[in-house]
Amino acid sequence: MPVAEYCLVALDCPDPPALAGFYAGLLGGEIKRYDDDWYDLYVPGGHRIAFQRVPHHRPPQWPRADDNSQQLHLDFNVTDMADAETEALALGAMPLDLDDQDGKRGWRVYADPAGHPFCLCKA
């Protein structure tokens, strides 16, 4: 029997409504504002991503090094990597590691507008 039940992933960021909007554009769903410092995105499928204001947010570095971790990253399955990449970049994603141009590896790494890494993964 599990001890807990998954609730959400919370991302620190300097601008919660903007980052929630980025992920809503990428994944769909509904944004709910709880206060100026906390927004939730309810994505299709029942999952939730939260966005918490941190005035002095420092994004993780890519590529990661021994003295610096990613902190976390999100993976998103896509059926068409080229189309997904085009749309993600148009929403404000920044490429970090596109070393899958031949399609053999199966994922590419990007940063959201606040600098959090995420991967588009071929479904």
pLDDT given at position 1: 78
pLDDT (tens place) for every residue of the chain, 123 residues total: 775 587 889 899 999 999 999 999 999 999 999 999 999 999 999 999 999 999 888 888 777 666 666 667 788 999 998 899 999 999 999 999 867 666 678 888 899 999 998 888 988
Same-domain pairing of 8 and 26: yes
- Please indicate, yes or no, whether residues 30 and 65 belong to a single structural domain of this protein: no
Give 62's DSSP letter: S
Q: Are residues 62 and 122 in the same domain?
A: yes
DSSP line for 70-119: ----EEEEES-HHHHHHHHHHHT-EEEE---TTSSS-EEEEE-TTS-EEE
10 φ/ψ angles, rounded to the nearest 5 degrees? -110, 130
Residues 64 and 39 occupy one common structural domain: no
Kindly state whether residues 68 and 121 are assigned to the same domain: yes
Domain that holds residue 47: 1-56
Provide the number of structural domains found in the chain. Answer: 2
Helix (H, G, I), strand (E, B) or coil at 32: strand
- Whether 73 and 90 share a structural domain: yes
Q: What is the CATH number of the domain that holds 69?
A: 3.10.180.10
